[in-house]
Amino acid sequence: MSAPTVYDVAEQAGVSIATVSRVYRNPESVRAGTRAKVMAAARTLGYVPSGSARGLASRTTRVLGLCFPDYADPDAEDPDGESDGAPDGSELMLYSDEIIRGMERAARRRGYALLIAASLAEGPENLVAEVAGRVDGFAVLSQTVPVEELEVIARRLPVVMLAGPREDASLDHLDHIEVANRDGELALTRHLIADHGLRRLAFVGSTPDSPDGEARFRGFQAAHREAGLPVPERPNVRAELTQAEGHRAVGELLAVGSAGERPEGIVFANDQMAVGALTALRRRGVRVPEDLAVVGFDGIPLGRLVTPALTTVRQPMRRLGEKAVELLVARLEDRKAEPVSVVLPVSVIRRRSCGCDDGSSDSVTYS
């Protein structure tokens, strides 16, 4: 005795399978009495419509997807607070969590469910295809899957790139959302220069292949240009985007120069590194922000918990997710509209680590 189908329900209710289908898809189109019979039959049989069959027949799933990289960062391996010690971010949200939340809500409002899948180290090839096959459209966090793969898939269904490259020409026809990396870093650096009077600033960047990191550095440069200061040609240090690397970067930065050359402030390409730097600086006896200002980028919750609280630029991850759904749905309605490229505004969060007062509430500026 396998799962009941429309046929079973139809027979039990004494109607045709079409009527059963109608009852589920468009109840109004069936007379109330008939409908009741069908529902009764379905109930007693324990009938549940097969999503697969529906999807196959209607070529639409009412499901949106999200693919993201496997963020199993070593920094966050505290499954459930066995050690509730120093804040390590383990119980805080990851980007993916916020995006998921944003997408889920937006999708739900429009009658879609959300299918999520992180790419495992092995078999990433499968991942996207797997997801792609079960949804009407999906969002991908950049760098999650090989470009060629995406390209093939994007020919068949709407894909929106999140925080990804507009650079990769081959993906130019995809809708795409990013945050104002350059402008955000510009605003933040400007704050350091103009409001705190800092002059010697160092930038700790990511690897050159990170579009986000590079864009942020351009903002950093722009602020210098704007202020009539010498414009740095490249990041003082490049590192991976982890706390450990932030720690390391500090070592590199403070070892190299004589005391006179020590920077007055360090601008990190992301919060994780900045947090790692905070630790490193404390160990060295360098006071933040008195001796040295430190700022990050991203706005991770952990940034508010560390001491001093981290000044940063917040990315609207939730909105990213919502926007992704918007674009997806729009594209579903008009497959051949021009590719859209959205830049989401960010906001500067002034906390203690840049030298600002750390009131009960953070100061915010938009950019």
- Which of the residues 19 through 48 are near a copy of itself (CB under 8 A)? 43, 46-48
Q: How many Å apart are CA 39 and CA 21, to the nearest integer? A: 11
Per the structure block, which two tokens stand in for 236?
Answer: 């003082």
Length of the chain (residues): 367
Q: Which of residues 64-103 bind a copy of itself (CB under 8 A)?
A: 70, 72, 79-87, 91-94, 97-98, 100-101
Closest CA relative to residue 142, chosen from 111, 126, 119, 112: 119
Q: Which is nearer to a copy of itself, 18 or 364 (CB)?
A: 364
Distance of CA 337 to the CA centre of its chain: 25
Q: Does residue 61 interact with DNA by CB under 7 A?
A: no
Among a copy of itself, DNA, none, what binds residue 116 when CB lies within 5 to 8 Å by partner kind?
A: a copy of itself
Binding DNA by CB under 7 A: which of 12, 15, 246, 269? Answer: 15
Binding DNA by CB under 7 A: which of 36, 44, 50, 84? Answer: 50
Q: Does residue 36 interact with DNA by CB under 7 A?
A: no
Q: Does residue 116 interact with a copy of itself by CB under 8 A?
A: yes
CB-based contact 34:19 (threshold 8 Å): yes
Q: Which is nearer to a copy of itself, 132 or 141 (CB)?
A: 132
CA distances from 97 to 71, 145, 318, 345 (A): 11, 19, 9, 20
Q: How many Å apart are CA 69 and CA 157, to the nearest integer? A: 20
Q: Which among 54-62, 155-163, 173-181, 234-242 is the span making contact with DNA, rule CB under 7 A? A: 54-62
The DSSP line for 38-92 is HHHHHHHHT----HHHHHHHHT--SEEEEEEE----GGG--TT-S---S--STTS
Among DNA, a copy of itself, none, what binds residue 93 when CB lies within 5 to 8 Å by partner kind?
A: a copy of itself
Among a copy of itself, DNA, none, what binds residue 22 when CB lies within 5 to 8 Å by partner kind?
A: DNA
Q: Which is nearer to DNA, 14 or 257 (CB)?
A: 14
Q: Does residue 7 interact with DNA by CB under 7 A?
A: yes
Among DNA, a copy of itself, none, what binds residue 34 when CB lies within 5 to 8 Å by partner kind?
A: DNA
**Phi–psi pair at 139, nearest 5 degrees:** -110, 145
Whole-number minimum distance, CB 364 to a copy of itself, in Å?
A: 5
List CB contacts of 341: < 8 A, sequence separation 6 or more.
166, 175, 176, 177, 178
Whole-number minimum distance, CB 202 to a copy of itself, in Å?
A: 26
Among a copy of itself, DNA, none, what binds residue 299 when CB lies within 5 to 8 Å by partner kind?
A: a copy of itself
Q: Tell me the Ramachandran region of residue 262: left when phi exceeds 0, alpha when psi lies from -120 to 50, beta otherwise.
A: beta
Report the b/e string of 300-328 with b at 16+ CB within 10 A.
Answer: bebbbebebbbbbbbbbbbbbbbbbbbbb
Q: Does residue 170 interact with DNA by CB under 7 A?
A: no
Q: How many Å apart are CA 228 and CA 190, to the nearest integer? A: 11
Q: Which is nearer to DNA, 33 or 74 (CB)?
A: 33
Binding a copy of itself by CB under 8 A: which of 61, 142, 189, 353? Answer: 61
Among a copy of itself, DNA, none, what binds residue 62 when CB lies within 5 to 8 Å by partner kind?
A: a copy of itself
> Can you give the binding site for DNA, defined by CB under 7 A?
2-3, 5-7, 14-19, 21-22, 24-25, 29-31, 33-35, 47, 49-50, 53-54, 56-59
